[in-house]
């Protein structure tokens, strides 16, 4: 692109989307995420970068999603989606950060420098898909993204309010027409259609109930399920709560992150003893389950539980179809409960890989298996099937013996029900309900497969989260000096003790995780480690309080 065109880009940015803050913002685990009023210039520049990225990828479609996921409503964010529906290539995160933070005066030169650095052919036609969540700030930011795309003569296609996983799906389908149709209707046809097909082959029996309560976190996922529920033909009876009406605030005291971290039921949901409930997060890329017993105690079924449930069922189908030679593996992070890892490796005999927090790390590791199951404990995850696995299973479904064909056909439906591009709460909900139905299980029976170690997560506000450095898939803290030694000393005092700390990829905090043999011990260990972080990593605000 000639320099004169870039001057137009610069002038438009200065006039319509000026940089009004000197606050440094970094492309993190899921893109840029901060207070919405700080993001307009960032989102405009990500429109520019999406066009550059698309042209580096020979004109293939790139996605821009406006969302802050599980964060509260005043926040917002933006992330780019690569052509295969995956997260932005990690090497480009530094480029995104650089472009987002330069001054308006340097934007022209920096954009030209990036174009040259990545050797982008700026004459190629390109298209950019844009989606947004339900935040009141999202339409303005989506428009800023579209303006950035058009400034470099790209073509934006705006999908309006969609779940984050839907936009990942659309991008994948646009670049690979064998995967599906890049529309909301195409998403429903593939994901929901596969669910209905497989449920027609599975009789409802045992303790499984077709009634499912859903906490929509007052976000987009509940709204989409409200559309889907009308098409389910009685295969699943969804009772939806927290759909954004009656003054409900996005992710406030509800949603997957609230349920997982606080270990409390969300507000706004009717609680019937032993009734299973699925909690989505604000942009519907996370899901956790729970139920409240007849003594009002909540029992959580998180991402670890979902991963083990899906992995065990896929293993069962592989065995029945005599495709056991396909290599299945499970990917976790340090947040995975130690009991789940033991169950997977010792009972299911499935190999486990541990990686850094962030779905991009899990997704990459899962690609090393024929079938890779990956979930963070927070409920963000999916299953990936290699081309070899799909071809093998398809061949058995056509040529195998009767029972082999039956199992293989179920597995093919299971594959179609899966959004392989990214963690998807709606897809995962249907996967979980399929397995529970196939096995005749209620939530209590699902929980009984193994006993979680009690755990606690805590956030500590510090002056600079980047003073925390980690290694060994974030299980060891390498700086500041002395912090890991202190953590080791604290952990040694507790039976089944385990703890780690890491800088958040989405918030200006340090996250603390602790496990022990009792909840009281886990709570106390988490508080003690939080105090160590506060003392050694520059804590601000109120000091952590030890439990009574």
The catalytic site residues sit at: 69
For 515-535, the three-class secondary structure string (H helix, E strand, C coil) is: ECCCHHHHHHHHHHHHHHHHH
Q: Say which DSSP state 223 is in.
A: H
Sheet with 510-515, edge to edge strand ranges: 455-460, 510-515, 498-503
- CA 243-246-251 angle, to 5 degrees, is 50
Sign of CA dihedral 266, 268, 271, 276: negative
Q: Which residues contact 535 (CB under 8 A, 6 or more apart)?
A: none
DSSP of 276-303, one letter per residue?
Answer: -EEEE-TTSS-EEEEEE-TTS-EEEE-H
Dist. CA 373–CA 406, nearest whole Å: 22
Dist. CA 82–CA 495, nearest whole Å: 44
Q: Say which DSSP state 202 is in.
A: S
Q: Binding site for Mg(2+): residue ranges?
A: 69, 281, 283, 285
What separation in angstroms does the CA of 252 have from each of 166, 215, 257, 387?
A: 23, 12, 10, 41
Q: Which helix (H) or strand (E) element contains residue 20?
A: none
Q: Are strands 455-460 and 381-385 parallel, antiparallel or unpaired?
A: unpaired
For 148-175, the three-class secondary structure string (H helix, E strand, C coil) is: HHHHCCCEEEEEEECCHHHHHHHHHHHH
Q: Say which DSSP state 265 is in.
A: P
Dist. CA 22–CA 101, nearest whole Å: 8
Of 288, 294, 226, give the one whose Cα is nearest residue 258.
288
Of 292, 303, 395, give the one whose Cα is nearest residue 344.
303
Give 280's strand partners.
Answer: 287
Q: Residue 523 — left, alpha, or beta (φ > 0 → left; ψ -120 to 50 → alpha)?
A: alpha
What separation in angstroms does the CA of 180 have from each of 65, 168, 173, 191?
A: 20, 12, 5, 10
Cβ count within 10 A of residue 288: 29
């Amino acid at each position: 692109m000639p320099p004169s065109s870039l001057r137009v880009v610069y002038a438009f940015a200065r006039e319509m989307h000026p940089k009004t803050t000197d606050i440094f913002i970094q492309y993190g685990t899921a893109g840029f995420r901060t207070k919405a009023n700080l993001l307009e210039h960032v989102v405009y520049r990500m429109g520019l970068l999406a066009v550059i990225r698309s042209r580096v990828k020979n004109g293939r479609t790139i996605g821009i999603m406006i969302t802050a996921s599980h964060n509260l409503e005043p926040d917002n964010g933006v992330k780019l989606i690569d052509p295969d529906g995956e997260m932005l290539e990690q090497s480009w995160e530094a480029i995104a950060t650089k472009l987002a933070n330069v001054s308006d005066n340097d934007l022209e030169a920096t954009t030209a420098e990036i174009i040259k650095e990545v050797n982008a052919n700026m004459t190629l036609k390109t298209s950019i898909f844009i989606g947004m969540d339900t935040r009141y700030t999202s339409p303005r930011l989506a428009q800023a993204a579209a303006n950035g795309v058009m400034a470099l003569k790209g073509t934006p296609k705006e999908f309006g309010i969609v779940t984050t996983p839907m936009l990942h799906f659309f991008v994948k389908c646009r670049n690979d027409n064998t995967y599906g149709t890049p529309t909301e209707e195409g998403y429903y046809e593939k994901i929901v259609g596969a669910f209905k097909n497989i449920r027609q082959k599975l009789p409802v029996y045992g303790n499984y109930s077709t009634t499912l309560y859903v906490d929509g976190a007052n976000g987009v996922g509940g709204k989409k399920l409200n559309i889907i529920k009308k098409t389910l033909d009685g295969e699943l009876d969804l009772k939806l709560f927290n759909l954004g009406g009656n003054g409900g605030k996005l992710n406030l005291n509800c949603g997957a992150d609230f349920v997982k971290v606080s270990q409390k039921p969300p507000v706004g949901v009717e609680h019937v003893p032993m009734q299973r409930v699925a909690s989505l997060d604000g942009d519907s890329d996370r899901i956790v389950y729970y139920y409240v017993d007849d003594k009002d105690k909540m029992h959580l079924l998180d991402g670890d539980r979902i991963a083990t449930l899906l992995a065990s069922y896929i293993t069962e189908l592989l065995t029945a179809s005599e495709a056991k030679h396909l290599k299945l593996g499970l990917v976790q992070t340090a947040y995975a409960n130690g009991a789940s890892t033991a169950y997977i490796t010792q009972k299911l005999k499935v190999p486990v890989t541990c990686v850094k927090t962030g779905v991009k790390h899990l997704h990459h590791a899962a690609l090393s298996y024929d079938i890779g199951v990956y979930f963070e404990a927070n409920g963000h995850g999916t299953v990936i099937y290699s081309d070899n696995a799909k071809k093998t299973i398809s061949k058995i479904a056509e040529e195998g013996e009767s029972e082999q064909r039956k199992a293989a056909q179920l597995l093919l439906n299971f594959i179609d029900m899966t959004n392989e591009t990214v963690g998807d709460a709606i897809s995962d909900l249907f996967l979980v309900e399929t397995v529970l139905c196939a096995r005749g299980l209620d939530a209590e029976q699902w929980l009984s497969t193994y006993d979680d170690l009690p755990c606690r997560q805590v956030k500590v506000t510090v002056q600079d989260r980047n003073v925390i450095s980690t290694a060994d898939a974030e299980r060891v803290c390498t700086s500041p000096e002395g912090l890991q030694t202190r953590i080791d000393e604290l952990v040694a005092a507790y039976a089944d003790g385990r703890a780690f700390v890491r800088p958040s990829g989405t918030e200006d905090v340090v996250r603390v995780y602790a496990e022990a043999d009792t909840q009281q011990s886990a709570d106390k260990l988490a508080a003690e480690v939080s105090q160590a972080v506060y003392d050694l990593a520059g804590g601000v605000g109120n000091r952590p309080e030890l439990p009574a």
